Each structure stands twice: as C-alpha cells, then as structure tokens.
Amino acid sequence: MTKKKNITQEDINTWENYIKDPKDIFDKDNSHKSNRSNNLRYKYDLHGYTLDEANKKVKKLISFCLRDNYKEILLITGKGIHSNTDEDIYVSRELSKLKYSIPEFIKSDLDLSKFISSISSADKKDGGEGAIIIKLKKL
C-alpha cells in the first residue's frame, strides 16, 4: 500500500469521525460485559485445561450460572487443531478434544443434563467452531 501524499482535510475529518464511532466493527472485548450485566450469558475460556480439569470446571460453572440466573454459557474450547492426540492411536480423535468431550460429559452426567435445554456450536461472532453455547433451563 502506498502512502497518499496529499491528504485533504475532508479525508482527515471523515477518518476522525469514523474512529469515534465505527458502526461496522464488532467489539468482541466489550460485548460480554453488556450480556453479563443482564444475566443473559456467561463467557468462559477453557484453553489450557485438560479434559478432566475442564469437566470439573464446567460442572462448577453450570452450578454458578444456575444460582446467578444466567440463561446461557458461552464456553470457548478452541478447535483442537493444536492438540497432540491425533498421533496417538489409542486416543479418540474427537473425544480427546474439549469441543467434543464437554457436550458428551454434560449429556452423560444426569445431575447436569437435567438443567440443560440445549448444547450447540456458537455463531461465528462468538467463536464459531471453537466455542459452544449451553442453554440453561428456566428454574
């Protein structure tokens, strides 16, 4: 890209106005704050957790969210592309990754599954294939 040598005052004003309020850019850093204040969605990142640690954390998160009246949980699991379990023939390719094992853990745990209305992949703006949304039942 080449630098424009003679920038007009109109271009400068247009750019400054855009920077003040860019309506076409989604602010993912601040999006969860408004959701959290309304008790709609709780967001948690599970990157770096082992399967066992993640399962224990999810159980605690669901209890916490039920107690505090959240409607859903956005779990950032990652896509599993950096997982080193693909080379191990004795390990399940899918269930060794959080994005697959967390839903299975919840479905198989009767104490948890009775509080869950649905588990689905997140929209692209929320993390896409690297995130899941757990919708909680109304109590």
Does residue 127 lie in a domain region? Answer: yes
3-state secondary structure of 118: strand
20-24, 36-40, 94-98, 112-116, range with the lowest pLDDT? 36-40
Tens digits of per-residue pLDDT, 56-89? 999 999 999 999 999 999 999 887 555 555 554 4
| DSSP code per residue over 38-97 | TTSEEEEE-TT--HHHHHHHHHHHHHHHHHTT-SEEEEE---STT-SGGG-TTS-TTTTS
User: What's the domain range around 74?
Assistant: 27-136
Q: Is the pTM of this model over 0.85?
A: no
CB atoms closer than 10 angstroms to residue 61: 17
Does residue 15 lie in a domain region? Answer: no
For residue 91, the model assigns a pLDDT of: 45
Domain at 88, CATH number = 3.30.1370.110
The torsion angle over the Cα atoms of residues 70, 133, 82 and 90, rounded to 10 degrees, is: 110
Q: Count the domains in the chain.
A: 1
Does residue 103 lie in a domain region? Answer: yes
Does residue 38 lie in a domain region? Answer: yes
Does residue 11 lie in a domain region? Answer: no
Does residue 22 lie in a domain region? Answer: no
2-6, 9-13, 120-124, range with the lowest pLDDT? 2-6
Does residue 1 lie in a domain region? Answer: no
pLDDT band at 11 (very low <50, low <70, confident <90, very high): confident
Tens digits of per-residue pLDDT, 92-126? 444 557 888 899 999 999 988 999 999 999 888 88
Does position 27 have pLDDT exceeding 70, yes or no?
no
Tokens of residue 42, six digits: 């709780």
Does residue 109 lie in a domain region? Answer: yes
Average pLDDT (1-8) is 72
The CA–CA distances, whole Å, from 139 to 39, 70, 72, 129, 133 equal: 14, 11, 13, 29, 18
